[in-house]
Each structure stands twice: as C-alpha cells, then as structure tokens.
Amino acid sequence: MASRQAIFGIANEPGDENDKLVELFRNRAELKKEFAALGKEKHRLQQLIKQREDATARVTQRLEHLENLLVDPKWAHTVLVFYQLRSLNRRCQGKLAKFAEQLKQQRENRRWDIQLRAWRKKRDAQKAKLEHELGQHRERLHLLEEQIQAERHRMASMNGLSKIIKGRTASEELAELGDKLDAAGNDEQGLLEKLQSIEDAGRPDPPGLSIPEKRSINFMIIAFAQHLYLQFNDRNLVALVKESSEKSVGAINYGNKRDCDLLLERISAHVESMEKARDYVDILKRRAALIAEDAAFECDEDAVPLVSTVATALALNANGVVTKTDANLVGDNYWGIANVLSR
C-alpha cells in the first residue's frame, strides 16, 4: 500500500510540510502588519473625531456667549458695533488683497508679453532664415532636375557611333547628377524637419518676477494700505477697526446705546466716503516712490522692506506737500498686509 501511495503521489513529502509551515508564518506576519495598520488608522480617526468635537464645542461656546450678549441690553448695541467694525476691517482687507492681486497679475502679464514678443521675434527670424535656405535649395533642385532631363534627352538623341564613344561618359554624368539630386532631397527633408520643429515648439512658461519687480509691487501695496489708513480722518475709528480684528466679541465695550449709535454713524459715513474715493492712482505712485527712497532691506534677496523703514504714513495734498504720520502698517499687519506682500 505504501508503495502504491508513493507511486500515485498520495504520500506527503517532508518538504511539502515545511513549505506549508513557512507559508503559514508568512500569512501570520502579513496579518499582524495589517492589524497594526488598522490600529494606527483607528487612532488617527479617533484623534480627528476629537479635534472635530473640540472645534464644535468651541463654536457652540462662542454661540452661547454671543446669545448671552445679545439678550443683555447693556451689550446688544456693543455687539452690533463690534461686527460693523469687523466688517469694515474685512472690507479694507478685501480691497488691499484685490489691489495686490491685480497689480501682481498686471506685472506678470507685462513681463510675459515682453518675453513672448522676444520669443516670437526669434522664432520668426529662425523660420525666415530656414525658409530662405529652403527656397535657395529648391532652386538648386530644380536646376539639377533640368540638367538630368537635358542629359537624358542628349543620351536619347545619340546615334549608334556617338552612343558607343560617349555613352559611358554620359551615363556616369547622369548617375552623378542622380546622386546629387538624392543628396539634395535629403538636405531638403532636413530643412523641412527643422522648420517643423520650430512650428511645433511651445510657448515659454510664464517667467517669475525678479526681486526689483517684487519690491516695486510691495511699495505700491504699502502705498495703497496707507491710502486706506489715511482715509480714516478719525484716528480713533481706525484704531477701533484694527482692534476688532484682534479681539473677540464681548472683549470690548463701546458704551451705551447713544455712544454705539454715534459709532455706527461714523462707520457708515466712512464706508460711504471710502467707496466714493477716485483718481488716487497718481498719488499712489508718488507715495510709492517716496516709500522706496526710505526703504531698506536686510539682504539683497529680500523683497519685503524692513518694518522700521516703512513705518510712516505719507499724506500728499494737491500741491504735493507731504505730511508724515507714525503708522507701522506692515509691523502691525493692518488690513492683513503681511498676507499679500510679494516675497
């Protein structure tokens, strides 16, 4: 019986048992790895849930705090003023961000236009040169073809005696002309391929702005931030606007209802005045030039000037008279200017 089992492969060899044991341990190791990975993923998801729960709890707490303030007659009007001030701050931030983005886009487009014009000029010059060479080459091809036709015609017109005497020489000349024609055809193909490669070449990528260009942009951004700041004739109001962006509701009390109503009137009047402001581009350019005169940088690779060198707001009247006011807009991050400066 044992021999029959061995013959038909029924008996288990020792090697088979070892292979199964190795495979079993390998599968066990893979399962342990997968289990460890699942444990890590579970921990990550638990941490994420905790973070979301904490964030939700904070929002709920703020909402409850706001509700308590709104139902308190002593604080309800203050809450309204606070959010009006914060809205005004966001309006100024939006204006500055839009101005900065448009300015950067304008400068980038201008530089890319210059680069594209130079690229097109170079490409057109290369194409014109190749097309001129191709035209001359095709003239030579035409002459070779005419010579071959003439030679063939001459050979065909030979009589028996002249064909015997000159036929071999004529055949050699015809073969030489054929070789020249083949070589000229290859040269023409090479010129056509070069011309096609120029046609297929894509436009260059938009270039980045240089440090001098970024500095110029930043001077204009700072000038516009000062423009927004100087529009506040009431320095106390601009301080309140800045404060509202740094503190939470309920941290500031603006007084009784009458005080709050007066503040709301001042805010509304300023918004109206700010939106009506026009024709200040020339003043911005002059202000930016003055800012550039005093600006200093920590190193040659820096595009943002040292804060201490741009800490003065410059007001210019119609006669060009400059009035200076201490205002560290960059250092105090007025209107979120740190987020829009080019670096």
Both tokens assigned to 154: 């001459």
In a domain, 127, yes or no: yes
| Residue 136 and residue 195 share a domain | yes
> What pLDDT does 291 receive?
97
* Last residue within a domain, chosen from 131, 165, 200: 200
In a domain, 93, yes or no: yes
| Residue 174 and residue 162 share a domain | yes
In a domain, 55, yes or no: yes
Report the predicted TM-score, pTM, of the whole model to 2 decimal places. Answer: 0.69
Point out the least confidently predicted range of 53-57, 169-173, 198-202. 169-173
| Residue 252 and residue 239 share a domain | yes
* Last residue within a domain, chosen from 145, 176, 200: 200
| Residue 217 and residue 305 share a domain | yes
Q: Using CA atoms, how far apart are residues 237 and 268, in angstroms rounded to an integer? A: 12
Structural domains in the chain (count): 3
User: How many other β-carbons are positioned within 10 Å of the β-carbon of residue 97?
Assistant: 16
In a domain, 75, yes or no: no
> What pLDDT does 190 receive?
82
| Residue 329 and residue 258 share a domain | yes
| Residue 330 and residue 220 share a domain | yes
What domain range is 14 assigned to?
Answer: 2-67
Q: Give the pLDDT band of residue 329 (cuts 50, 70, 90).
A: very high
| Residue 155 and residue 145 share a domain | yes
* Last residue within a domain, chosen from 182, 200, 218: 200
> What pLDDT does 159 receive?
66
In a domain, 80, yes or no: no
Q: Is the predicted pLDDT of residue 11 greater than 70, yes or no?
A: no
Q: Which of 223, 184, 206, 234 is nearest to 305 (CA)?
A: 223
| Residue 124 and residue 105 share a domain | no
In a domain, 74, yes or no: no
| Residue 134 and residue 189 share a domain | yes
Q: Give the pLDDT band of residue 256 (cuts 50, 70, 90).
A: very high
| Residue 250 and residue 127 share a domain | no
Across the range 263-292, mean pLDDT stands at 91
For residue 313, give the H/E element and its range. Answer: strand 312-316
Q: Which of 111, 308, 323 is nearest to 217 (CA)?
A: 111
Q: Looking at the chain, list the stretches that DSSP marks H as alpha helix, in order from N- to C-terminal side.
A: 2-7, 14-70, 73-157, 160-200, 211-230, 235-244, 257-276, 281-294
| Residue 249 and residue 334 share a domain | yes
| Residue 327 and residue 218 share a domain | yes
Average pLDDT, the chain: 84
In a domain, 72, yes or no: no
Measured at the CA of 134, the angle between CA 132 and CA 137, to 5 degrees, comes to 110
In a domain, 78, yes or no: no
